[in-house]
């Protein structure tokens, strides 16, 4: 039944009043947002965090610069990132987007050289290996690598099978096989795009697999000659492509203990290769710290002795050391944490290292939280915590390297920091 005229009149007046109230609330809310976002000094941390999270890039689609509706990124400490660990993309466009977002130099991780089986490769590749004089053990390199624009391999050592390029690097009694789908080579992508932004690219050298029994935290150096032989080709390839420096990716604690000589021996051999092929190129190493009372605790003096041992490996190529601060995996704590589980703080370690040599000292900031204690259970950090980490060691180091701009717990996901806040700009690594 239709409403009577008096009822419709009352409904109309009620509707008009309600609409006026809604418009007033929307207007007041809009004014509050304008006033809140006008303060760019980071004073309203929770407000800035909520707003920047809405504009944060995803891991798959990095955003370059702030959108018109969000404030510019703000760093609330004096310390600065000079580089970031990142995984370059196969697409130059994607790599460039990540570099622009970081606004620093870039360091890549290293791949593995591992024993493999010839049957894992296409028939033409197997035949090419069989045609080599003598018997050859077969190894594979785990990062896509193309030999495009190099003169390091003979034509018959590069085999195209469909859209995949296989490179066969012949060594004494061994071959290392590389592969590249559609010409992909993420490290080459970095070195193509970095110069366009005046950024530097440090390339991670291949490493051997770890031992499968006994001291499984040490490298399997039983085929060190294969790793070293391949790495000579590797350094020549990326030196030709414009590498600015190299990263020795194998990990060890910052100690001078002989137990870890299999790692420092690997370091020393790679420095010799770099000296021979790309003399004077800087070399970066990032050992870890261990300050927990219930673990193999390192004293600051032990860490200082380990630091000196690494510096002494340098030849024409200088060694730069960026210890992992340990805060992302829980092996250290800040003074402000007042942790009863740690014997030494991050600040104590870096003060001792600074006393040995300040010029070659950097820090790797672990921008994550321990979670369940392993790499699969680590959790995202916060803007506040990462800035606290930066500030804690700033007085001791030449700059910070962010871990990491790829994969889980990426810095790209953090408010402000993920849009280049606290970045020193490009060209700041040695």
The Cα 283–Cα 233 span in angstroms is 17
pLDDT of 2 higher than 50: no
Q: First and final CA of the chain: distance in angstroms?
A: 84
The tally of CA atoms less than 13 A away on the side-chain side of residue 16 is 5
Rounded to whole angstroms, what are the CA distances from 314 to 244, 264, 272, 292? 16, 12, 9, 30
pLDDT of 42 higher than 70: no
Q: Tell me which residue of 24, 339, 320, 385 sits closest to 348, measured CA to CA.
A: 339
Mean pLDDT of 217-239: 97
pLDDT of 267 higher than 80: yes
What is the bridge-based pairing of β-strands 137-141 and 112-115? antiparallel
Characterise 148 by phi-psi region: left (phi > 0), alpha (psi -120 to 50), beta (else): beta
Lowest mean pLDDT among 31-45, 95-109, 229-243, 283-297: 31-45
The alpha carbon torsion through 329, 333, 338, 339 (nearest 10 deg) reads 50
pLDDT of 64 higher than 90: no
The Cα 343–Cα 259 span in angstroms is 22
Q: Are the beta carbons of 131 and 157 closer than 8 angstroms?
A: no
Across all residues in the chain, what is the average pLDDT?
Answer: 86
The Cα 270–Cα 310 span in angstroms is 13
- DSSP state, 426? S
Share of the chain above pLDDT 70, in %: 83
Confidence of residue 428 (pLDDT cuts 50, 70, 90): very high
**Between these two residues, 114 and 34, which has the higher pLDDT value?**
114
Rounded to whole angstroms, what are the CA distances from 236 to 110, 246, 277, 278? 16, 12, 6, 8
Instruction: Give SS3 for 259.
Output: helix
Beta-bridge mates of residue 203: 246
Polymer length in residues for the chain: 430
Mean pLDDT of 78-102: 95
pLDDT of 213 higher than 80: yes
pLDDT of 15 higher than 80: no
- DSSP state, 322? -
pLDDT of 373 higher than 90: no
pLDDT of 61 higher than 80: no
The Cα 127–Cα 403 span in angstroms is 42
pLDDT of 83 higher than 80: yes
The pLDDT score that the predictor gives to residue 413 is 93
Lowest mean pLDDT among 47-61, 107-121, 313-327: 47-61
Share in percent of the chain as helix, strand, coil (round to 5): 40, 15, 45
The pLDDT score that the predictor gives to residue 4 is 34
The Cα 389–Cα 411 span in angstroms is 13
What is the bridge-based pairing of β-strands 164-171 and 174-181? antiparallel
In DSSP notation, 269-281 reads: HHHHHHHHHSTT-
Confidence of residue 406 (pLDDT cuts 50, 70, 90): confident
Confidence of residue 271 (pLDDT cuts 50, 70, 90): very high
The Cα 268–Cα 261 span in angstroms is 10
Lowest mean pLDDT among 36-50, 241-255, 374-388: 36-50
pLDDT tens profile 133-171: 998 999 999 999 999 889 999 888 999 999 999 999 999
pLDDT of 86 higher than 90: yes
The Cα 396–Cα 392 span in angstroms is 9
The pLDDT score that the predictor gives to residue 375 is 62
- The highest-level CATH class for domain 81-111+187-419 is alpha beta
The pLDDT score that the predictor gives to residue 265 is 97
- Count of C-beta atoms within a 10 Å radius of residue 265: 14
pLDDT of 254 higher than 90: yes
The pLDDT score that the predictor gives to residue 238 is 97
Question: What are the two backbone dihedrals, phi and then psi, of residue 271, each rounded to the nearest 5 degrees?
Answer: -65, -40
Mean pLDDT of 52-64: 34
Confidence of residue 284 (pLDDT cuts 50, 70, 90): very high
pTM above 0.85, yes or no: no
* Rg for the chain, CA atoms, rounded: 27
Mean pLDDT of 86-103: 94
Q: Are the beta carbons of 255 and 291 closer than 8 angstroms?
A: no
């Amino acid at each position: 039944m239709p409403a009577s005229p008096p009822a419709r009149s009352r409904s109309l007046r009620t509707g008009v009043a309600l609409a006026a109230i809604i418009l007033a609330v929307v207007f007041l809310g809009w004014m509050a947002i304008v006033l809140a976002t006008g303060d760019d000094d980071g004073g309203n941390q929770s407000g800035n965090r909520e707003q920047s999270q809405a504009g944060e890039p995803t891991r798959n689609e990095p955003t370059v610069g702030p959108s018109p509706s969000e404030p510019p990124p703000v760093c609330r400490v004096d310390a600065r990132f000079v580089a970031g660990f990142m995984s370059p993309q196969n697409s130059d466009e994607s790599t460039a987007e990540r570099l622009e977002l970081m606004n620093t130099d870039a360091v890549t991780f290293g791949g593995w050289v591992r024993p493999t089986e010839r049957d894992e490769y296409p028939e033409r590749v197997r035949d090419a290996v069989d045609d080599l004089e003598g018997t050859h053990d077969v190894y594979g390199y785990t990062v896509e690598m193309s030999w495009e624009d190099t003169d390091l391999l003979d034509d018959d050592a590069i085999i195209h099978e469909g859209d995949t390029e296989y490179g066969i690097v012949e060594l004494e009694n061994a071959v290392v096989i590389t592969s590249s789908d559609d010409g992909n080579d993420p490290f080459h992508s970095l070195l193509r795009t970095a110069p366009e932004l005046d950024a530097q690219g440090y390339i991670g050298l291949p490493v051997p697999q770890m031992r499968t029994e006994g001291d499984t935290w040490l490298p399997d150096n039983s085929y060190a000659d294969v790793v070293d032989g391949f790495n000579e080709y590797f350094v020549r390839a990326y030196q030709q492509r414009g590498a600015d420096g190299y990263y020795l990716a194998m990990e060890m604690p910052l100690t001078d203990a002989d137990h870890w000589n299999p790692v420092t021996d690997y370091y020393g051999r790679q420095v010799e290769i770099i000296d021979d092929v790309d003399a004077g190129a800087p070399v970066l190493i990032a050992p870890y710290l261990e300050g927990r009372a219930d673990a193999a605790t390192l004293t600051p003096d032990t860490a200082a002795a380990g630091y000196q041992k690494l510096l002494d490996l340098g030849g024409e190529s200088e060694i730069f050391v960026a210890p992992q601060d340990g805060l992302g995996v829980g092996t250290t704590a800040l003074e402000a944490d007042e942790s009863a589980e740690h014997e030494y703080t991050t600040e104590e370690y870096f003060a001792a290292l600074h006393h040995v040599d300040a010029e070659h000292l950097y820090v790797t900031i672990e921008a994550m939280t321990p979670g369940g204690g392993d790499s699969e259970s680590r959790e995202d950090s916060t803007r506040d915590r990462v800035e606290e980490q930066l500030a804690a060691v700033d007085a001791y180091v030449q700059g910070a390297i962010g871990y990491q701009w790829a994969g889980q717990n990426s810095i790209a996901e953090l408010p402000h920091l993920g849009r280049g806040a606290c970045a020193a700009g490009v060209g700041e690594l040695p």
